Amino acid sequence: MEYIDDDYDLVDALNTPGIPDDERPILDPQISEEQLMFAYGQMADIILQLSKHTFTEIGCIARANEDDDFDGLWVVKHRPLTLNMNELVQVGIFPPHLLPDGPFPTSSSYYQALADMHMAHLVTQRNDAVDSAEDCRKKCIARFLFRKLSREGRFCK
């Protein structure tokens, strides 16, 4: 798998000019279709490269030997950073210390952790995330059902 040292990231390339680094990025409405297609093409290439590998755990990958640029072996070393996890912390005021500590050995363990994060999110989210008592009940029931199904391994069969 190809490794590329980066001078800047995708946010730098696609963000609306003038938005400070500490604010949420917004896709530049003036970006050319050529730039956007180039970025999408690179993202698709990365996903295709990742799809050719099999890993024994679910998480973020890194070189097995980070000091050897010629070693092509990649392994799962850290917890995954999913869009859901990022959104929970960035938008949902979810405490980062409640995120999982490391990789997941099975998809079942990942779903169980996801259910736990959803439960913690319900407790830590702002009051304006719930429209009414009925809305809160529905969200609570949905999270309990998701957790029950994940514990029963129903998502992995």
Q: What's this model's pTM, rounded to 2 decimal places?
A: 0.70
* CA proximity to 42, closest of 84, 2, 87: 2
Give the Cα separation of 122 and 92 in Å (integer): 9
According to the model, what pLDDT value does residue 157 have? 65
According to the model, what pLDDT value does residue 115 have? 94
According to the model, what pLDDT value does residue 144 have? 95
Percent of the chain with pLDDT over 90: 44
71-119 pLDDT tens trace: 778 899 999 989 889 988 888 788 899 999 999 999 999 999 999 999 9
User: How confident is the model over 55-83, as a mean pLDDT?
Assistant: 87
Q: How confident is the model at residue 130 (pLDDT cuts 50, 70, 90)?
A: confident
Q: How confident is the model at residue 1 (pLDDT cuts 50, 70, 90)?
A: low
Give the Cα separation of 59 and 127 in Å (integer): 32
* CA proximity to 79, closest of 112, 57, 107, 49: 57
26-40 pLDDT tens trace: 999 999 999 999 989
